[in-house]
Amino acid sequence: MSRLPAPRRALVVLAVSALAVLGAGAQSSASPDHHPPKESRMNQVIPAPVSVTPDRHGGEFRLTPDTVIRVDRGAKRVGEYLADLLRPATGYRLPVTDDRHGDSAISLDLGKVDPRLGDEGYTLDVDRRGVEIKARTAKGLFNGVQSLRQLLPARIESRSVARGPWTVPAGRIVDQPRFAHRGAMLDVARHFFSPEEVKRYIDQISMYKINTLHLHLADDQGWRIEIKSWPRLATYGGSTEVGGGPGGYYTQEQYRDLVAYAAERQITVIPEIDMPGHTNAALASYAELNCDGVAPPLYTGTEVGFSSLCIDKEITYRFVGDVLRELAALTPGEYLHLGGDEAHVTTEPDYIKFFQRVLPMAEDLGKKVAGWHDLLKASPLTSALPQYWGTTDSNQLVTDAVARGNKVLLSPANKSYLDMKYDENTPLGLSWAGYIEVDTAYGWDPGSYLQGVPESAVLGVEAPLWSETLEISDHIEFMAFPRLPAIAELGWSPWSTHDWESFRTRLAAQAPRWTELGIDFYRSPQIDWPA
Ligand code: ACM
């Protein structure tokens, strides 16, 4: 990559004012006529930071066999995470230490930044002697580490010793997210993905400062989480998937391990049990949940909207109560996602009746409710988080909820659904919400997208990945890359940085990293991928 396109240079100017706003003390190197050195990786970070100020002299820090990772108390785990990232390719020891002596260091400092950076913000300073990341919390340090990772050569992602030099361009980044919630969803119900496959996706999304993983754990084709009080949900309801494969489920122990793995990467898991529709796997597992007392067969097709829990049976509420109680006990995060979409065979009065009993169950467990925006028909509390998945830029249910005080999560299907095909030739995915090329995924402003929904009412964005056509990690990756980084940038970066030419240039620079990581990405013709 050579010199930055013009709009990105303007960003350096913008950076100066951003620094002033944050009161972080602009460095003298950030003069407006400054041209960043050619090849500077400082300007390649995705999501685009609030401000990037490459050193005017083009200096750099170089990792050596003597470099240490110096951590404050409370930063040790992030330090170990960083060491684990850097050791394989460099072959260096990179001890994680609180010893203040020694020269060459990457320092992770807690609590010494402007409080306006918030819990997730950080500053990153690089000079000849070292790298210093500062943040108020481990979350902020982790975000700084992800930026640092992208400042190193792509070969740093190699899992075996690779050729250096391991240089980091000198300069300063000051950064914090635009939106609190930056999510990815994985549908493990239509096709089951093993804990290892889910962890692989967690690793990938964490590179782009995604902080929430929504797991779609139950649908018509499969129930994927062990519920001890209703064991057949998993052992029978989880025993197949779309196409009739073997399916699978997570034991509670495996699930806790996934939640912990995500938490180490500063990602909160939101579990979803979809109801009252999308419930064939449950209805097939327990005949008594059906209004007629007859269990339907397991389902391995891809139709939607044909199943419903039995609204007038008391056992339905015992079932939902037991499931939510076990799920809440597995969930350190604040939300349980209750689905609520496409309940086409549940009448509207029944739908409302159902959720008027179920919503308080989640609240009584100390959890907030998340749900697809259809759930707004049942008027949940203002603490509930409706997730917009429509394909138009206005929705009365959502507008009314925002007027009542709800915040919303945006995942418009025609922009952010990673399972939509890129174009008519894409071998995987669906197209009911249209084709989504990279510029479409990137080309909308969450802060002004929905009529009647101001930026202040938007909690954030999510990139859902439904798995009717996806069976293995390769498939996940082909659909998520490169669009997941686009949605991640919409969620993190200030709108003032939004620039397609800059984004496509930075995206191209990610490709060698994905190749090192074995990520099978879609080579969109919109991007000038390196040879
Ligand atoms: C959905 O796509 N049915 C939420």
Q: What is the mean pLDDT of the chain?
A: 93
Rg (CA), the chain: 24
If you average pLDDT over residues 491-517, what whole number do you get? 98
- Ligand 1 atom closest to residue 417's alpha carbon, by position in its atom list: 2
Regarding the beta carbon of 417 and ligand 1, being less than 6 Å apart is answered no
**Ligand 1 test: best mutation among 306, 342, 408, most atoms within 8 Å of CB?**
342
Pair 323, 439 in one domain: yes
Instruction: Assess whether pLDDT exceeds 90 at residue 419.
Output: yes
DSSP three-state, residue 131: strand
Residue-level length of the chain: 531
496/475 Cα distance (integer angstroms): 33
Regarding the beta carbon of 389 and ligand 1, being less than 6 Å apart is answered yes
What's the CATH code of the domain at 379? 3.20.20.80
In a domain, 20, yes or no: no
Instruction: Assess whether pLDDT exceeds 50 at residue 19.
Output: no
Pair 209, 127 in one domain: no
If you average pLDDT over residues 189-216, what whole number do you get? 98
In a domain, 107, yes or no: yes
Give the closest residue to 512 by CA, choosing from 531, 494, 525: 531
Regarding the beta carbon of 341 and ligand 1, being less than 6 Å apart is answered yes
In a domain, 509, yes or no: no
DSSP assignments along 409-473, one per residue: EE--HHHH-TTB-SSTT-SSSB-TT----HHHHHS--TTTSSTT--GGGEEEEEEEE--TT--SH
If you average pLDDT over residues 483-500, what whole number do you get? 98
Regarding the beta carbon of 220 and ligand 1, being less than 6 Å apart is answered no
Regarding the beta carbon of 179 and ligand 1, being less than 6 Å apart is answered no
Question: Structure pTM?
Answer: 0.93
Q: Is 71 exposed, middle or buried (0-12, 13-18, 19+ CB in 10 A)?
A: buried
Q: How many CB atoms lie within 10 A of CB 342?
A: 17
- Ligand 1 atom closest to residue 339's alpha carbon, by position in its atom list: 4
For residue 225, the 8-state DSSP code is B
Pair 336, 450 in one domain: yes
Contact 333, 270 (CB under 8 A): yes
Pair 124, 140 in one domain: yes
362/338 Cα distance (integer angstroms): 9
What element of type H or E holds 348?
Answer: helix 348-364
If you average pLDDT over residues 440-447, what whole number do you get? 98
DSSP three-state, residue 146: helix
Domain end marker among 175, 210, 236: 175
Pair 322, 459 in one domain: yes
How many Å lie between the centroid of ligand 1 and the Cα of residue 341?
A: 6
If you average pLDDT over residues 450-454, what whole number do you get? 96
What element of type H or E holds 272?
Answer: strand 268-275
Give, to the nearest 10 degrees, the angle between helix 483-492 and helix 500-517.
130
Distances (CA, A) of 413 to 315, 421, 462, 470: 34, 12, 10, 17
**Ligand 1 test: best mutation among 221, 275, 279, 341, most atoms within 8 Å of CB?**
341
- Ligand 1 atom closest to residue 372's alpha carbon, by position in its atom list: 4
Pair 380, 485 in one domain: yes
Instruction: Assess whether pLDDT exceeds 90 at residue 4.
Output: no
Domain end marker among 143, 175, 207: 175
What confidence tens digit (pLDDT) does each residue in 137-186 have? 999 999 999 999 999 999 999 999 999 999 999 999 999 999 999 999 99
Instruction: Assess whether pLDDT exceeds 90 at residue 23.
Output: no
Query: Residue 340 is part of which domain span?
Result: 181-492
Q: Quick one: how far is CA 20 from the chain centroid?
A: 30
Residue 22: the pLDDT is: 42
Pair 210, 334 in one domain: yes
> Residue 422 is encoded by which pair of tokens?
């890129």
Residue 504, φ and ψ in degrees, nearest 5: -70, -30
Q: Whose CA is nearest to atom 2 of ligand 1?
A: 389
DSSP three-state, residue 81: helix
If you average pLDDT over residues 55-60, what whole number do you get? 92
Number of domains present in the structure of the chain: 2
In a domain, 290, yes or no: yes
What confidence tens digit (pLDDT) does each residue in 90-118 have? 999 999 999 877 778 999 999 889 999 99
477/519 Cα distance (integer angstroms): 6
- Ligand 1 atom closest to residue 464's alpha carbon, by position in its atom list: 2
How many Å lie between the centroid of ligand 1 and the Cα of residue 160?
A: 41
What confidence tens digit (pLDDT) does each residue in 268-290 have? 999 999 999 999 999 999 999 99
In a domain, 311, yes or no: yes
Instruction: Assess whether pLDDT exceeds 60 at residue 14.
Output: no
Annotated catalytic sites, by residue? 342
In a domain, 530, yes or no: no
What's the CATH code of the domain at 151? 3.30.379.10
Pair 93, 227 in one domain: no
Q: How many CB atoms lie within 10 A of CB 72?
A: 18
DSSP three-state, residue 93: coil
Residue 191: the pLDDT is: 98
Distances (CA, A) of 219 to 177, 412, 433: 33, 20, 20
Alpha helices in 95-241 (DSSP H): 138-151, 195-206, 232-235
For residue 464, the cross-strand partners are: 185
How many Å lie between the centroid of ligand 1 and the Cα of residue 425?
A: 23
Pair 251, 311 in one domain: yes
Residue 103: the pLDDT is: 79
Predicted confidence band at 2 (pLDDT cuts at 50, 70, 90)? very low
Pair 159, 296 in one domain: no
Distances (CA, A) of 65 to 75, 89, 157, 285: 22, 12, 18, 58
In a domain, 304, yes or no: yes
Residue 370: the pLDDT is: 98
Residue 39: the pLDDT is: 52
Residue 112: the pLDDT is: 80
467/243 Cα distance (integer angstroms): 12
Domain end marker among 120, 146, 175: 175
Contact 260, 200 (CB under 8 A): no
Q: Whose CA is nearest to atom 3 of ligand 1?
A: 341
* 59: amino acid identity, one letter: G
Contact 248, 198 (CB under 8 A): no
Q: How many CB atoms lie within 10 A of CB 20?
A: 12
Regarding the beta carbon of 109 and ligand 1, being less than 6 Å apart is answered no
Contact 171, 42 (CB under 8 A): yes
Instruction: Assess whether pLDDT exceeds 60 at residue 33.
Output: no
If you average pLDDT over residues 76-84, what whole number do you get? 98
Tell me what percent of the residues of the chain surpass a pLDDT of 70: 93
Handedness of CA 368, 370, 371, 376 (dihedral sign): positive
Exposure class string for 296-315: b at 16+ Cβ within 10 A, else e: eebbbeeeeeebbbbbeeee
Predicted confidence band at 58 (pLDDT cuts at 50, 70, 90)? confident
Contact 173, 133 (CB under 8 A): no
Q: How many CB atoms lie within 10 A of CB 155?
A: 15
In a domain, 514, yes or no: no
Pair 149, 242 in one domain: no
Q: Quick one: how far is CA 230 from the chain centroid?
A: 31
Contact 113, 155 (CB under 8 A): no
Pair 425, 330 in one domain: yes
